[in-house]
A and B are shown apart, each in its own frame.
Chain A
Amino acid sequence: MGHSAKGILCEGLSKSFHRGAVTAVESINLKIDQGELFGLIGPDGAGKTTLMRLLTTLLKADRGNATVDGLDITEDYKMIRQTVGYMPGRFSLYQDLTVAENLNFFATLFNTTVSSNIDLIHDIYVQIEPFSDRRAGQLSGGMKQKLALCCALIHKPTVLFLDEPTTGVDVVSRKEFWGMLAGLRTLGITILVSTPYMDEAMRCDRIALIQAGEIMQVNTPQGIIESYPLTLYAVKAEDTFRLLQDSKAYHNTRSCFAFGSYLHLTFRGEDPNLVREYMEYLYRKGHDSLTINKIAPTIEDCFMYLMNSKPMTSTRL
Chain B
Amino acid sequence: MSQATKVLFVQMKAFVAKEFHHVFRDRKSLLLLFGLPIAQILLFGFALSNEIKNTKIGVFNQASDSESLRLIERVEASQYFEVSEILKNAQEMEDIFRAGKAKLILIIPPGFGQDLVHADSPGADLQIIADGSDPNSAYTVTSYLQNIILDFQKGLNPAEIQQRDYGLVTELRMLYNPQLKGAPNFVPGVMSLVLLLICVMMTSISIVREKELGTMEILLVSPFEPLLVILSKAIPYLILSLINLTLILILSVFLLEMPIHGNLLLLFAVSTVYIITCLSLGLLISTVTQSQQAAMLISLMGMMLPTMLFTGFMFPIENMPLPLQIISHLVPARYYYIIVKAIMIKGLGIAAIWKETLVLAGMAMLLLLISWRNFKIRLE
Q: Tell me if B221 and A96 are in contact (CB < 8 A).
A: no
With A59-B379, A109-B14, A111-B7 as known contacts, state yes or no: A81 contacts B21, CB within 8 Å: no
Q: Tell me if A101 and B11 are in contact (CB < 8 A).
A: no
Q: Tell me if B25 and A58 are in contact (CB < 8 A).
A: no
> A204 → chain B, closest Cβ, in Å?
22
Residue B214 contacts which of A59, A60, A92, A105 (CB distance < 8 angstroms)?
A: A92
Q: Tell me if A58 and B14 are in contact (CB < 8 A).
A: no
Judge whether A88 is part of the interface by a CB distance below 8 angstroms: yes
Task: Mark each residue of chain B from 18 to 29: 1 if its CB lies under 8 Å from any CB of chain A, else 0.
Answer: 100110011000
State in angstroms the CA–CA spacing of A97 and B15 once bound together.
12
State in angstroms the CA–CA spacing of A86 and B221 once bound together.
7
Q: Tell me if A96 and B218 are in contact (CB < 8 A).
A: no
> A41 → chain B, closest Cβ, in Å?
22
Q: Tell me if B22 and A86 are in contact (CB < 8 A).
A: no
Residue A84 contacts which of B22, B219, B221 (CB distance < 8 angstroms)?
A: B221
With A60-B380, A109-B11 as known contacts, state yes or no: A86 contacts B18, CB within 8 Å: no
State in angstroms the CA–CA spacing of A255 and B21 once bound together.
57
Residues of A with C-beta under 8 A to B22: 94, 96-97
Within 8 A of A (CB), among B183-229: 213-215, 217-224
7 new A-B contacts, CB < 8 A, other than A78-B223, A93-B218, A95-B213, are: A57-B220, A81-B223, A92-B214, A94-B213, A96-B21, A109-B222, A111-B223
Within 8 A of B (CB), among A136-176: 151-152
Residue A109 contacts which of B25, B217, B223 (CB distance < 8 angstroms)?
A: B223
Q: Tell me if B218 and A58 are in contact (CB < 8 A).
A: no
Task: Mark each residue of chain A from 114 to 145: 1 if its CB lies under 8 Å from any CB of chain B, else 0.
Answer: 00000000000000000000010000000000
Residues of A with C-beta under 8 A to B98: none
Residues of A with C-beta under 8 A to B217: 53, 56, 58, 86, 88, 92
Judge whether B378 is part of the interface by a CB distance below 8 angstroms: yes
Complex: chain B residue closest to A53, CB-CB = B379
Judge whether A221 is part of the interface by a CB distance below 8 angstroms: no
Judge whether A250 is part of the interface by a CB distance below 8 angstroms: no
> B231 → chain A, closest Cβ, in Å?
14
Task: Mark each residue of chain B from 118 to 158: 1 if its CB lies under 8 Å from any CB of chain A, else 0.
Answer: 00000000000000000000000000000000000000000
Q: Tell me if B7 and A88 are in contact (CB < 8 A).
A: no
State in angstroms the CA–CA spacing of A213 and B201 once bound together.
39
Q: Tell me if B378 and A101 are in contact (CB < 8 A).
A: no
Q: Tell me if B219 and A109 are in contact (CB < 8 A).
A: yes
Residues of B with C-beta under 8 A to A56: 217, 221
